[in-house]
Amino acid sequence: MGFERPLLGEPYLLTPGPLTTSLATKQAMLRDWGSWDADFRALTAELRRRLLAMIGDVDGAFECVPMQGSGTFCVEAMLGTLVPRQGKVLVLANGAYGLRAAQTLRALGRAHTVIDKGDYLPPRGEEVGAALDADPAITHVLAIHCETSSGILNPVEEIAQATYARGRKLLIDSMSAFGAVPTDLRTLRYEAIVSSANKCIEGVPGFGFVLVRRSELEAAKGNSHSLSLDLHDQWTVMEKTGQWRFTPPTHVVAAFIEALHQHAAEGGVAGRGARYANNRDVLVAGMRAAGFETLLDERWLSPIIVTFFCPADPNFSFPAFYELMKEKGFLIYPGKLTAVESFRVGCIGHLDADVMRAVVAAATRSLAEMKVASAAPAPHVLGERAKLVA
């Protein structure tokens, strides 16, 4: 596939969504659709069918329920609908999105408990098992697939094993991994998985979707705290009429269908994942050669987004670095770590290794312009990381 430059000199978005989309995806938004019309209903049906195929739902046990709003709306819809009011959730947190899920449960008034691993470390199957053994009231486990605040790829397979070995249910926030990291039901067990249009499928923002076991959905009638975020209701109406309950983001859906076709043409999840992994490898090798250090150990680096420590050199400032990178055509992303200064570079979106090489060159030039002699972080930062990942 061709990787045309963004339009009109707009910068590349090296961010984990919204991200750089292809020209064809943008062009798919150049017509208006009647939300009740058969042509648009066909788009919705195709979207649901293609997403179910992506998780290998061969025996038809799952449903796809799209939901208006950003990813957080869909996480809230999933939790509010699928966790019964008497349920209790074990939240596995190692960054901002895990903590947000806990905050959501608090707002919903659902009982929950949190394993918080800080910024660097993955929740492991063993500790999930121990937490479940210690608290029989826990009915569900919520895992973050790729914790986008650091870029860590959490070990969801071992978490699923620990969860189902104890008869509990797994819900996965795969927002930033779905479409590029395998979520196939034949190798990974879960009751529901949630993602959104503007991450690895490379659509534009406006809706998300929950892929959920039908029996869970059927049992969830009346659970939801919310009218608009009730997945059961959204599903029931969609099954009956083929329509979304309330105004759908029509143009966003049309762009998403185009993005899904490109995803399939690239070789589906495997093809998309391979391109992103190559983007990451080129980026990380180039940045390390320039003296930067990654937050994470090799083994936990995701193909989605990479966190780098800020250089310790006193001439370095992130806001100035950001502006210099923007001048060169690249929007990078501030860090979201609680303890140390960092920045992030996304590997996802309509971009390839040539773009990543240009990012590295731009970063090197920007450091020189700032008169930063070394990109190395403070030694104590590395010392701390070494202690934590040991």
231 close to 223: Cβ distance less than 8 angstroms: no
Classify burial at 141, counting beta carbons within 10 Å of its beta carbon; exposed 0-12, middle 13-18, buried 19 or more. buried
Residue 28 has phi, psi (to 5 degrees) of -65, -10
DSSP 224-268: -S-STT-HHHHHHHHHHHSS-SS---HHHHHHHHHHHHHHHHTTH
In terms of CB distance, is 64 or 200 closer to ligand PLP? Answer: 200
Read off the DSSP letter of residue 208: E
Residue 152 has phi, psi (to 5 degrees) of -75, 135
Structure tokens at 390: 């040991």
Least separation in angstroms between CB 5 and ligand PLP: 25
In terms of CB distance, is 64 or 363 closer to ligand PLP? Answer: 64
In the complex, residue closest to ligand PLP by CB: 71
Using the structure block, give the residue that is written with the tokens 């939790």: 79
In terms of CB distance, is 181 or 362 closer to ligand PLP? Answer: 181
Residue 341 Cα distances to 108, 311, 312, 335, 368, angstroms: 33, 9, 9, 7, 20
Least separation in angstroms between CB 99 and ligand PLP: 11
In terms of CB distance, is 88 or 100 closer to ligand PLP? Answer: 100
Residue 174 Cα distances to 156, 181, 183, 210, 343, angstroms: 10, 9, 9, 10, 22
Structure tokens at 104: 């959501």
In terms of CB distance, is 116 or 384 closer to ligand PLP? Answer: 116
For residue 387, give every residue at least 6 positions away whose Cβ sits within 8 Å of its Cβ, in sequence order, or none. none
Least separation in angstroms between CB 153 and ligand PLP: 11
Q: Name residue 384's amino acid.
A: E
Least separation in angstroms between CB 351 and ligand PLP: 18
In terms of CB distance, is 142 or 363 closer to ligand PLP? Answer: 142
In terms of CB distance, is 176 or 307 closer to ligand PLP? Answer: 176
Least separation in angstroms between CB 71 and ligand PLP: 3
Least separation in angstroms between CB 333 and ligand PLP: 11
Residues that bind ligand PLP in the complex, under the rule CB under 6 A: 16-17, 70-72, 75, 97, 144, 148, 173, 175-176, 196
Least separation in angstroms between CB 171 and ligand PLP: 12
